[in-house]
Amino acid sequence: MTAAPSHNAANASNPTLPADVPMVDIPTAATEDGKKRKRKEKEAHILHQTTFRKPTWSYFHLSLVTPGTAALSSAAAAASSQARDIDALTASALLLQPLTAYLGSTGAAVPVDILHTQGRDAYVRLPRQDARGFRAGLSGWIGGYDSGSIPGVKDSGRVHVAWRVVAEGGSLGLLRGTGEELFGESEVAY
């Protein structure tokens, strides 16, 4: 019987070594005592740590669009209707209609907080899990409302209205810069 040729690197470089030589571990200082060395774990000293992985609220900056202001930018439409602001009650009614049309009674139950209105713009807050349905409901909705309640509309009777989503974010400060456009320079926000 002949032995099968071995293909390890040790036998290739030195043909006089036998193929089945057991490897012996060399004792080290840590294993001679029978104890392993353990590192002392230092506790990290963290002063402050904050991570917003899943914010509770979503914030939207919305602009009310009518047929005369659809082609204008948000700033130009706000400048043309500076006489008065849309009131929170009108904004609430105009937000309820698309949510009910898109999601039915579930959409009507979405809690929408109107934080601020200025001209035709509205800043709203709602739960994060409802943000996708809210945006989808607003994007395809065109409704009608009394023209006397909409700032900047000179016609009488009902007028077509829609919402334009200007910005969306997980934090109110992320919508637009410093927030001066929200509360103005002279007003104090409590």
The answer to whether 80 touches 152, Cβ cutoff 8 Å, is yes
Q: For residue 16, tell me if it sits in a domain.
A: no
Could you tell me the sign of the dihedral formed by the alpha carbons of 185, 65, 149, 94, in that order?
negative
134 CA to centre of own chain: 14
In a domain, 137, yes or no: yes
Residue 73 lies inside a defined structural domain of this protein: yes
How many CB atoms neighbour CB 73 within 10 A? 11
- Look up the domain containing 105 and give its range: 57-170
Predicted local distance difference test score (pLDDT) of residue 8: 52
What is the widest separation between alpha-carbon atoms in the chain? Answer: 110
Give a yes or no: residue 26 inside a domain.
Answer: no
Is 21 part of a structural domain of the chain?
no
Q: Give pTM, 2 decimals.
A: 0.61
Per-residue pLDDT at 181: 53
Q: Does 31 reside within a domain?
A: no
- Give 164's DSSP letter: E
- What's the Cα-to-Cα distance from 75 to each of 64, 69, 155, 181, rounded to whole Å? 12, 11, 22, 11
pLDDT at 67: 82
Is residue 44 in a domain? no
CATH number (domain holding residue 125): 3.30.70.3250
Contacts of 131 (CB under 8 A, 6+ apart): 58, 60, 168
Tokens of 20: 């089945």
The pLDDT averaged over each successive group of 10 residues in the chain (190 residues) is: 52 60 64 64 76 82 84 54 78 93 91 91 93 92 84 81 89 62 48
Specify whether the CB–CB gap between 131 and 170 falls below 8 A: no
pLDDT value of position 71: 62
Question: How many domains is the chain partitioned into structurally?
Answer: 1
DSSP one-letter string for 13-27: H-TTS-TTPPP-PPP
Q: What is the pLDDT of residue 170?
A: 81
**Cα distance between residue 130 and residue 110, in whole Å:** 7
Residue 119 forms part of a structural domain: yes
Task: For tokens 């040790």, name the residue.
Answer: 10
